[in-house]
Amino acid sequence: MNDLLQSLRDAGNLRQLATVGGDARHLIHEGRRYLNLSSNDYLGLSADTALQREFFATLDPARHFVMSNPSSRLVTGNSPEYDRTESTLSALFGGRSALVLSNGFAINTGVLPAIVQKGDLILADKLVHASLIDGLRLGEAEWQRFAHNDTDHLERLLRKLRTAYRNVWIVTESIFSMDGDRAPLARLVELKRQYDLKLYLDEAHAFGACGADGTGLARAAGLDGEADVLIATLGKALASCGGFVITDATTRELLVNRMRTLIFSTALPPVNLLWTDFLLQRLPGMSARREHLAGLAGRLGARLAPKIAGPSHIMPLIVGDNHRALALAGRLREAGFWTSAIRHPTVPQGSARLRISLNAALTDNDIDRFTEAWNNIG
């Protein structure tokens, strides 16, 4: 084990857990305060004390309140709060069926193995999240990856392979977690219709943060309902925990019966589900936060272009090798900015980066101060 740890250290890949506190804008680590540019709390909800007070006021103190669900949903953990939260999600997504799980990783590792079979093919974008790669490996279907956001490459594969398989799935993210760029959803839907495909869309980094009502990029692009399976997390923009699947009723029933990460996982506590539902009810009305977040992204993008890649609230500063990424992250922390060094093998070799992740609690002045610091350091 020491040899393995040393090899990670030599490659600049040794990770450590840092104990932090703080609020939506700042982290506090070892007594020092940093501007937080690494959080996925895109709407800045996690430390909104006014929202918290409003939520606690909705709880009935006379009600016997269960703080945990110490079993799986299929045993004794399927509390009424699940029904309530899933009904709210269903309404947000036009009446389609919703299924809530413990986290997004459990969804991405569990859905595809539950619904694809031998004789099916999965074509996944080269840069889909590690959880989706694990899900591909666990399933019985054959799978290949197409070049990132390259629909010409995808269509070449479809022309060659489509007729040999019963079902073919396209798997992609709407906003990619490490590059911040967006999938060509309209073209993917065209290919879906042309080749009779199924679409699995991960909206983890778009849900809450994008679209007029916060439901993500598919609806914002006028493609509502085109994803046969749409998934997202409740632990990023929504500042809660868990994740959800939006699909048709038959697929939902199949997942309940075959999805191992649902069947064998302890259910979420009712208090978390109530907090989730409380925020979901208010999500469409949070357009001002989304507009401010988009404004911050535009401001930072204009000051850093062409050094950045994706046009979203996730902005990678590509710096090259792992050691350089770590060194630059260290220098930014010395200047008071908490940024995360994302390294190979999480990203391709030679593309280690600082992943700047914006949230709506930040200010224009925060963006300007960071830009000045980066120009002096980077």
User: CATH number for the domain including 69?
Assistant: 3.40.640.10
Q: In what order do the strands lie in the sheet with 198-202?
A: 97-101, 243-247, 229-233, 198-202, 168-173, 121-125, 142-146
Residues 220 and 365 in one domain: no
Among residues 222, 183, 202, which one has the least CA distance to residue 94?
A: 222
Short-list 137, 200, 133, 190, CA closest to 167: 200
Is the sign of the CA dihedral 187, 193, 196, 200 positive or negative? positive
**How many domains does one find in the chain?**
2
The amino acid that residue 132 corresponds to is: L
* Residue-number span of the structural domain to which 335 is assigned: 18-43+286-377
- Asked if the structure places residue 3 within a domain, the reply is no
**Residue 225 and residue 98 share a domain:** yes
Is residue 49 included in any domain, yes or no? no
Asked if the model's pLDDT at residue 21 lies above 90, the reply is no
- Among the candidates 264, 284, 304, a domain finishes at 284
Question: Which residues are identified as catalytic?
Answer: 40, 129, 173, 177, 202, 205, 236
What is the average per-residue pLDDT within 256-282?
97
Is residue 54 in a domain? Answer: no
Say yes or no: 22 and 113 in one domain.
Answer: no
Cα 137 to Cα 126: distance, rounded to the nearest angstrom: 14
Q: What's the farthest any 2 CA atoms get from each other in the chain?
A: 64
Residue 9 lies in a domain: no
CA distances from 284 to 89, 201, 203, 230 (A): 12, 21, 16, 18
- Which residues touch 295 (CB under 8 Å, ≥6 apart)? 364
Mean pLDDT (whole number) for 60-82:
86
Mean pLDDT confidence for 268-288: 97
Same domain, 275 and 302: no
Beta bridge partner(s), residue 169: 122, 198
Mean residue pLDDT across the chain: 93
Residue 247 falls inside a structural domain: yes
Q: Which helix (H) or strand (E) holds 123?
A: strand 121-125
Q: Does the pTM exceed 0.75?
A: yes
* Domain assignment of residue 8, yes or no: no
Tokens at residue 28, please?
A: 């506090």
Whether residues 306 and 199 fall in one domain: no
In terms of domains, do 182 and 91 share one?
yes
137 in the same domain as 68? yes
pLDDT digit string, tens, across residues 340-350: 898 888 888 88
| 201's tokens | 């869309």
Question: Domain of 329: which CATH number?
Answer: 3.90.1150.10
Q: Check: CB of residue 342 under 8 Å from CB of residue 207.
A: no
Phi then psi for residue 194, to 5 deg, are -65, -40
Does position 181 have pLDDT exceeding 60, yes or no?
A: yes
Domain-terminating residue out of 263, 284, 305? 284
Where b means 16+ CB within 10 Å and e means fewer, 142-159 reads: bbebbebbebeebbebbe
Percentage of residues in the chain having pLDDT higher than 70: 97
What does the pLDDT read at residue 26?
93
